[in-house]
Amino acid sequence: MVNTKNKKYAQRKHALNRANNRCDLVFSKAVRTEFLSLIQTSKSICMYKQSLRASCHKVNYQDIDYYVIYDKIRKEIVTFLTEQMVNDTINDMEKYYE
């Protein structure tokens, strides 16, 4: 039975919705497992870190690049981002640290 009251479940559900909305990707259990495997075996590119817990990864899946936020504590994908969102965040970070 799935506990619908924990954060890991909420993150998984949020990622499923964002994958569908932003990337037109059906984020099934098999796809999620493949994404997690690519991230955990360093076959993705870490674009930036949001915090000690969360980082943005560029994952190449079926010859398409997807940008995801990965929670390393819960070992879960939190959300999907567009390339423009990632670029805007990187630009904002560069301006902040100038």
Average pLDDT in the 3-10 region? 83
In this predicted structure, the answer to whether residue 2 has a pLDDT above a threshold of 70 is no
Q: What ranges make up the beta strands (E) of the chain?
A: 45-49, 54-61, 64-71, 76-81
pLDDT for 21 equals 97
Q: What is the pLDDT of residues 37-84, one digit of tens each?
A: 999 999 999 999 999 999 999 999 999 999 999 999 999 999 999 999
The four Cα atoms 53, 57, 61, 66 give a dihedral, to 10 degrees, of 110
Q: Quick check: 1 pLDDT over 60? A: no
pLDDT in tens, 18-33: 999 999 999 999 999 9
